[in-house]
Amino acid sequence: MTSASTPPSDVSAGVDLADRTALVTGAGSGIGRACARALAAAGARVHVVDRDAAAATAAAEEIGGVAHAVDLARADLAEGLPAGIDILVNNAGLQHVAPLAEFPPDRFELMHKVMVRAPFLLLRHCLPHMTARGWGRIVNVSSVHGLRASAFKAGYVAAKHALEGLSKVAALEGAPHGITSNCVNPGYVRTPLVEQQIAAQAAAHGIAPERVVGEVMLDRSAIKRLIEPAEVAAVAVWLCGPHTGYITGSSLPVDGGWSAA
Ligand code: NAD
């Protein structure tokens, strides 16, 4: 039995994706890599998309997938990517921590390109195939910050709230065609993105880095531990499985109770 502090070992149990093709963005690291791994374990053919070519190649090799080195900040990102995608996981993202008045506009814009425009462009790219096949699954890796705000995260909170809206529109338009679209909303997950944030949060709050996880990151979470990437991947794969066809337009908190408070 899996306890509250032990991540699941078989996150793809009961899900058969043998005739499905998936595309996961930001799959070279962290949550995206865990999603790619879990989808492949369920039998899907997985396209691994990441700006970091070496990371994409390593992730694809591990799961027998296909690597694509693509900068998702580009407007022409979809060129060269396959359109025959049944499962789209919009996961790639980045963080920047700064007070609003000091938030660099170019960083704000980049975050929106990667976390809002890229999902929009990939939806445009993938929806015709899903519609023709009468089945599709869109999983948008949002955040508890798609539902709640935190100080010093203007770019991230605004982008994730926009992704929530995009996901809901895809749910409404996809419903007649067997396509579901949902957001998964993690709290703090043990990934390189969070490791990078610890130093930034320490500076923003004026405390030592070792106090950031306990006093800042987990302050609003009822469960006082970081989430493992596999726990988020488990929800993403579950949304592609046989029992979740009626779940659409939803936002599923994986946040240890943060948004319940
Ligand atoms: P990560 O930094 O470990 O991985 C992100 C991946 O995205 C990297 O491989 C990076 O190369 C790729 N990427 C970034 N910009 C890109 C671009 N322009 N083009 C192509 N690829 C690009 O991060 P993670 O923690 O796994 O985060 C993944 C997603 O989960 C993000 O959307 C993040 O906002 C979300 N999320 C993370 C946490 C967390 O605590 N780690 C919590 C909630 C939501």
In the structure encoding, which two tokens stand for residue 247, read together?
Answer: 């779940």
CA dihedral 200, 205, 207, 209 (to 10 degrees): -20
Ligand 1 atom at shortest distance from the alpha carbon of 226: 40
Q: 141 CB less than 6 Å from ligand 1?
A: yes
Task: Give the pLDDT score at 195.
Answer: 86
- CA–CA separation, 192 vs 35, rounded Å? 15
Q: 193 CB less than 6 Å from ligand 1?
A: yes
Q: Candidates 3.30.565.10, 3.40.50.300, 3.50.50.60, 3.40.50.720; correct CATH number of 21-189+227-253?
A: 3.40.50.720
Ligand 1 center to 176 CA (angstroms): 31
- CA–CA separation, 17 vs 4, rounded Å? 27
Comparing CA positions, the residue from 229, 242, 241 lying closest to residue 36 is 229
Q: Kindly report the average pLDDT of the chain as a whole number.
A: 95
Residue 2 in this model has a pLDDT that exceeds 80: no
Residue 7 in this model has a pLDDT that exceeds 60: no
Residues of the chain above pLDDT 90, percent: 86
pLDDT band at 160 (very low <50, low <70, confident <90, very high): very high
Ligand 1 center to 193 CA (angstroms): 6
Strand segments, DSSP code E, in the chain are 21-25, 45-50, 66-69, 87-90, 136-141, 179-186, 251-254
- What's the average model confidence in pLDDT over 244-254? 98
Ligand 1 center to 114 CA (angstroms): 10
Q: What is the pLDDT of residues 109-132, one digit of tens each?
A: 999 999 999 999 999 999 999 999
- What's the average model confidence in pLDDT over 193-207? 86
Ligand 1 center to 129 CA (angstroms): 26
Residue 187 in this model has a pLDDT that exceeds 90: yes
Q: 72 CB less than 6 Å from ligand 1?
A: yes
- Does the CA dihedral 81-87-88-92 come out positive or negative? negative
Ligand 1 atom at shortest distance from the alpha carbon of 188: 40
Task: Give the pLDDT score at 8.
Answer: 62
Q: What is the pLDDT of residues 20-34, one digit of tens each?
A: 999 999 999 999 999
pTM of this structure: 0.95
Q: 94 CB less than 6 Å from ligand 1?
A: yes
Pocket mutation for ligand 1, best pick of 23, 24, 25, 31 (most atoms within 8 Å of C-beta): 31
Q: 188 CB less than 6 Å from ligand 1?
A: yes
| CA diameter of the chain | 54
Ligand 1 center to 178 CA (angstroms): 28
- CA–CA separation, 33 vs 50, rounded Å? 10
CA dihedral 254, 258, 259, 261 (to 10 degrees): 150
Nearest C-alpha to atom 41 of ligand 1 is from which residue? 189
Residues belonging to the chain: 261
Residue 3 in this model has a pLDDT that exceeds 70: no
Q: 114 CB less than 6 Å from ligand 1?
A: yes
Catalytically annotated residues: 156
Residue 243 in this model has a pLDDT that exceeds 80: yes
Residue 4 in this model has a pLDDT that exceeds 90: no
Task: Give the pLDDT score at 75.
Answer: 98
Between 147 and 5, residue with greater pLDDT: 147
Q: 26 CB less than 6 Å from ligand 1?
A: yes
Task: Give the pLDDT score at 203.
Answer: 86
Residue 1 in this model has a pLDDT that exceeds 50: no
Comparing CA positions, the residue from 217, 102, 221 lying closest to residue 152 is 102
The DSSP element (H or E) to which 229 belongs, if any, is: helix 229-238
DSSP 189: B
In the structure encoding, which two tokens stand for residue 98, read together?
Answer: 């700064």
- CA–CA separation, 42 vs 18, rounded Å? 7
